[in-house]
Structure 1
Amino acid sequence: MAREIRLNAFQMNTPGHSWPGLWRHPRDRSDGFARLDFWTDLARLAERGLLDGIFIADTFGLHDVYLGGADAALAAGAQVPIHDPALVISAMAAVTRHLGFGLTTSVAYEHPYILARRFSTLDHLTNGRIGWNIVTGFLDSAARAMGEAGALDHDERYARAEDYLALVYKLWEESWEDGAVLRDKARGIYADPAKVHAIRHDGPYFRSEAVHLCEPSPQRTPVLYQAGTSPAGKRFAARHAECVFINGHTRSSVARTVSDLRRQATEAGRDPSDLKVFLGATVIAAASEAEARDLVEEYRPYVDPAGILALMSGRLGVDLGAVGLDEPLTGIESNGVRSIVEALTRTDPNRTWTPRDLTRFAGAAGRGPFIVGSAVQVADELQDWADETDIDGFNLTRIVFPETLEAVVDLVVPELQSRGAFKTSYRDGPFREKLFGHARGRLPASHPAKRGF
Structure 2
Amino acid sequence: MTNTFQNTDKSIHKKQILLNAFDMNCVGHINHGLWTHPRDESHRFNELSYWTTLAQTLEHGLFDGLFIADITGVYDVYQNGIDLTLKESIQLPSHDPTTLVSAMAAVTKNLGFGITVNLSYETPYQFARRFGSLDHLTQGRIGWNIVTGYLDSAERLIGQKGLKDHDLRYEQADEFLTLCYKFWEGSWENDAIQKNKQKRIFTDPKKVHQINHQGHFYQSQGVFQVSPSPQRTPLLFQAGASARGLAFSTQHAECVFIGGDQADKIKQQVDKIRELTKQQGRNPEDIKIFVGITVVTAETDQLAQQKLEEYASYANPEAGLAHFSSSIGIDLSQYADDEVIPYQSTNSIVSVNNKFKDKQITPNDLKAQHLLGGRYPLFVGSGSTVAEKLIQLLDDTGIDGFNLTRTVAPESHHDFIRLVIPELQQRGRFKTEYTQGSLRNKIFNQGDYLNSQHPASQFRCHNNKDKHNIVKETADEQSA
- TMscore range, shorter length: over 0.9
Deviation at 1:251, TM superposition (A): 1.1
**Residue 377 of structure 2: aligned partner:** 369
Asked if structure 1 preserves the Cα contact closer than 8 Å seen for 2:23 and 2:29, the reply is yes
Instruction: Give the whole-Å Cα distance in 1 for the aligned partners of 2:92 and 2:243.
Output: 30
Counterpart CA distance in 1 for 2:212 and 2:403 is 37
CA drift at 1:369:
1.8
From 400, 418, 441, the equivalent of 2:426 is 418
AA at the equivalent of 2:308: V
Q: Secondary structure at the match of 2:248?
A: helix
**2:377, 2:166 → 1: CA distance?**
27
State which of 234, 237, 240 in structure 2 corresponds to 1:222.
Answer: 234
Whole-angstrom distance in 2 between the partners of 1:403 and 1:329 = 36
Judged with a 3 Å threshold, the aligned counterparts in structure 2 of structure 1 residues 362 and 312 are, in CA distance, closer, same or farther, namely closer
| Residue identity in the other structure for 1:438 | Q
- The 3 A distance-change label for structure 1 pair 305 and 363 is closer
Quick one: which of 274, 288, 291 aligns to 1:262? 274
Residue aligned with 1:27, SS: coil
CA distance in 1: counterparts of 2:188 and 2:338, whole angstroms: 58
- The 8 Å contact of residues 56 and 103 in structure 1, kept in 2 or not, is answered as yes
Given the alignment, which residue of 275, 278, 294 partners 2:306? 294
Distance 2:314 2:362 in 1: 21
Displacement, 1:187? 1.9
Q: Which structure: larger Rg?
A: 2
Letter in 1 for 2:201: I
SS at match of 2:180: helix
Q: Is the 8 A contact 1:340 1:367 kept in 2?
A: no
Tell me, in whole angstroms, the C-alpha distance in 1 between the residues paired with 2:293 and 2:46: 25
Query: For 1:160 and 1:302, how far apart are their aligned partners in 2?
Result: 42
Q: Secondary structure at the match of 1:108?
A: helix
Determine if contact 1:258/1:277 at 8 Å carries over to the other structure. Answer: yes
Q: CA deviation at 1:307?
A: 2.0
* 1:45 maps to 2:45: no
- Supply the distance in 1 between the matched residues of 2:67 and 2:380 (Cα, whole angstroms): 22
Match of 2:439 among 425, 428, 431: 431
State the match for 1:66 in structure 2.
Answer: 78
SS for the counterpart of 2:257 is strand
Identity %: 47
Please report how far the alpha carbon of residue 130 of structure 1 lies from its aligned counterpart in structure 2 after TM superposition: 0.2
Q: Secondary structure at the match of 1:302?
A: coil
Deviation string 1:70-126 (CA, Å, 9 cap, x unpaired) is 111111100000001001111111111101000000110110000001100110110
Instruction: Tell me which of 222, 225, 232 is aligned to 2:244.
Output: 232
| 1:155-189 CA-partner distances (Å, limit 9, x unpaired) | 11111100100100000000011111111112222
Asked if the contact 1:103/1:132 (under 8 Å) is kept, the reply is yes
Q: Which residue of 1 aligns with 2:356?
A: 345
Q: Which one of 450, 456, 464 corresponds to residue 449 of structure 1?
A: 456
Pick from 325, 336, 340 the counterpart of residue 313 of structure 1.
325
Matches within 5 A, 1:205-216: 205-216=217-228
Whole-Å Cα distance in 1 between the matches of residues 171 and 407 of structure 2? Answer: 35
Change (3 A) 1:136 1:412: same
Superposition pairs for residues 63-142 of structure 1, below 5 Å?
Answer: 63-142=75-154
Cα deviations by residue, 1:55-79 (Å, 9 ceiling, x for unpaired): 0000000001111111111111000
Counterparts of 2:54 and 2:444, CA distance in 1? 24
Q: Does 1:203 align with 2:215?
A: yes
Task: State the Cα distance separating 1:335 from its structure 2 match.
Answer: 1.2
Deviation at 1:365, TM superposition (A): 5.8
TM-score where L is the length of structure 1: 0.96
Change (3 A) 1:271 1:424: same
Q: Secondary structure at the match of 2:336?
A: coil
Structure 2 partner of 1:161: 173
For the residues of structure 2 that align with 1:250 and 1:213, how far apart are their CA atoms? Answer: 47
Q: Does 1:335 align with 2:343?
A: no
TM-superposed CA distance for 1:356, in Å, is 2.5
Structure 1 CA distance, aligned partners of 2:261 and 2:365? 13
Deviations 1:304-345 (Å, cap 9, x if unpaired)?
Answer: 233222211111100011122221234232311123224x43
Q: Confirm or deny that 1:389 pairs with 2:397.
A: yes
Q: Which residue of 1 aligns with 2:288?
A: 276
5+ residue gaps, structure 1:
none
Letter in 1 for 2:278: T
* Offset at residue 387 of structure 1 (A): 0.7
Alpha-carbon contact 1:303-1:361 (below 8 Å) kept: no
CA contact (8 A) 2:31 2:372 kept: no
Partner Cα separation in structure 1 for residue 169 and residue 266 of structure 2: 24
How far is 1:402 from its partner?
Answer: 1.1
Measure how far apart 1:353 and its partner are. Answer: 2.6
Higher alpha-carbon deviation: 181-190 or 262-271: 181-190
Q: Structure 2 unaligned segments of length 5 or more: list them.
A: 1-12, 460-472, 474-480
Q: Which amino acid aligns with 1:389?
A: T
The whole-number CA distance in structure 2 between the counterparts of 1:355 and 1:26 is 29
RMSD: 1.4
How far apart in 2 are the matches of 1:228 and 1:124?
28
Asked if the contact 2:292/2:402 (under 8 Å) is kept, the reply is yes
Cα deviation, 1:363-415, whole Å, max 9, x if unaligned, reads 79633321100111101110111011100000001111111111111111100
Aligned equivalents of 1:396, 1:157: Cα separation in 2: 28
- Aligned pair count? 448
CA distance in 1, matches of 2:22, 2:428: 24
Name the counterpart of 1:247: 259
The offset of 1:359, in angstroms, is: 2.8
Aligned residue in 2 for 1:357: 365
Tell me the SS of whatever aligns to 1:105: strand
- What is the identity, as a one-letter code, of the residue corresponding to 1:206? Y
In structure 2, the partner of 1:378 is: 386
SS in 2 for 1:284: strand
Q: How far apart are the structure 2 equivalents of 1:14 and 1:359?
A: 22
The answer to whether 1:17 aligns with 2:63 is no
The partner residue of 1:27 within 26, 39, 42 is: 39
